[in-house]
Structure 1
Amino acid sequence: MNIVKEFKEFAIKGNAFDLAVGVIIGGAFGKIVTSVIEDLIMPVVAAMVGKPDFSSIYFAMGKGAESIPAGASLADAKKAAPDAAIFAYGNFITVAINFLLLALVVFMMVKAINKMKKKEEAAAVVAPPAPPKEEVLLTEIRDLLKAKA
């Protein structure tokens, strides 16, 4: 029974519960960011510069590299020369560009959220209410007594 009690305390503890909520919200936020990138940002980028897909850029070297026809796709090059060492740096470039776009979108979203939070905090900061007259008088009396002593 003791282990059940310990597990219950662990599962209900604020940190574990907060972590679970964070994971769930993070998954949903990831879907939002993915949609923003794929559905909003990438079409604009594709309209301006074409679809940024460099995954078929590679450099073949070693045994069998000469048997790869010029202009062959990466998949065709791997089929034509299975023994060749294929340095497929184009896929890395595509992934790096996607990462930079994703990071930019997340940065802009965080910046917008922080801006909204600052506005809420500024609105919440209100001057403290003036102390009651009795407290003001007692403070003045205290100060006068200190001055005489």
Structure 2
Amino acid sequence: MIQEFKAFIARGNVLDLAVAVMIGAAFGKIVTSLTEDVIMPVIGKVFGGLDFSSYFVTMGPVPAALTGSTDYAALKKAGVPLLGYGEFVTQAVNFLIVAFIIFLLVRAVNRVVPKAEAPTPADPADVVLLREIRDELRARNAAPGGRTE
């Protein structure tokens, strides 16, 4: 069983997947920082200083100590049921950035790496046989003394 596990781990695609997950996690942190620290503040400035994370609707009772609070994180930590649509907007922008960057990467790779020609499927055996028969009949008819029509 241990030998099978070693063989499984040593396969190239498992290692490639592990590396891809680690790079993806690091890339996700970079994009999250870009969204939260660069893009969303600019959007907030353009729209009059609005902070999307403070946009939410309370769906239940708020503890007396937090009444009137607009701190989404504090209310969420206190267990108040919230509909955090501002946080959703932030995450949607984050997703769009990641999707666009992945699109650009795939597009660049497709331009650089030539497309491999798809192998032409082999003809079915009956078609090959019929071609051989046709070619044989043509050869017989073309030979001296062969039939001509």
Instruction: Give TM class, smaller chain.
Output: 0.5 to 0.7
Question: Does 1 or 2 have the higher relative contact order (CA < 8 Å, sep 6+)?
Answer: 1
Aligned equivalent of 2:52: 52
The one-letter code sitting in structure 2 at the alignment partner of 1:72 is G
Q: Distance in 2 between matches of 1:7 and 1:14?
A: 14
Please report how far the alpha carbon of residue 114 of structure 1 lies from its aligned counterpart in structure 2 after TM superposition. Answer: 2.5
1:101/1:34 Cα in 2 relative to 1: closer, same or farther (>3 Å)?
A: same
What are the Cα deviations for residues 126-149 of structure 1, in whole angstroms up to 9, with x where unaligned?
Answer: xxxxxxxxxxxxxxxxxxx97956
Please report how far the alpha carbon of residue 94 of structure 1 lies from its aligned counterpart in structure 2 after TM superposition. Answer: 2.3
Aligned equivalent of 1:88: 82
Structure 1 segment 15-30 matched on structure 2, within 5 A: 15-30=13-28
Percent identity over the alignment? 28
Q: Aligned to 2:53, what secondary structure does the other structure show? A: coil
Give the unaligned 5+ runs of structure 1: 126-144
Q: Distance in 2 between matches of 1:39 and 1:93?
A: 19
Structure with more of its chain in helix, by fraction = 1
Structure 1 segment 3-18 matched on structure 2, within 5 A: 3-18=1-16
- Contact 1:56/1:73 (CA < 8 Å) preserved in 2? no
Q: Distance in 1 between matches of 2:142 and 2:25?
A: 68
Aligned equivalent of 1:141: none
Q: Distance in 2 between matches of 1:39 and 1:118?
A: 32
- C-alpha root-mean-square deviation of aligned residues, in Å? 3.6
Aligned equivalent of 1:129: none
Given the alignment of the two structures, is residue 108 of structure 1 paired with residue 106 of structure 2, yes or no? no
Aligned residues, how many? Answer: 114
The one-letter code sitting in structure 1 at the alignment partner of 2:32 is T
